[in-house]
């Protein structure tokens, strides 16, 4: 699993309202991994957490206050805009 796999998954989330809703409703990282795999993306929990941590470390307070779901977090991590 690579960052490219995560980026492809996030791009799909951005283009698919149903998938975005599923990710938005996820209760944790394991749910995100399961949703990604169910939609054909080989997403690894450790890579996802590492990339997310990198993005959070460099984010300003304003960006962080806008994160209210796992969908928001993924969109922020990979520079995509969120629908929320």
- Length of the chain equals 84
Query: What's the confidence (pLDDT) of residue 82?
Result: 46
3-state secondary structure of 8: helix
**Chain segment 5-55, per-residue pLDDT in tens:** 888 998 898 889 999 889 888 888 899 999 999 999 998 899 888 888 888
Contacts of 14 (CB under 8 A, 6+ apart): 20, 75, 80, 81
Tokens, residue 40: 């054909």
């Amino acid at each position: 699993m690579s960052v490219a796999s995560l980026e492809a998954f996030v791009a799909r989330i951005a283009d698919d309202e149903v998938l975005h809703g599923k990710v938005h409703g996820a209760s944790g990282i394991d749910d995100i991994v399961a949703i990604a795999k169910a939609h054909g993306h080989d997403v690894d929990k450790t890579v996802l957490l590492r990339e997310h941590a990198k993005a959070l470390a460099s984010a300003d307070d304003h960006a962080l206050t806008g994160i209210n779901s796992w969908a928001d977090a993924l969109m922020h991590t990979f520079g995509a805009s969120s629908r929320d």
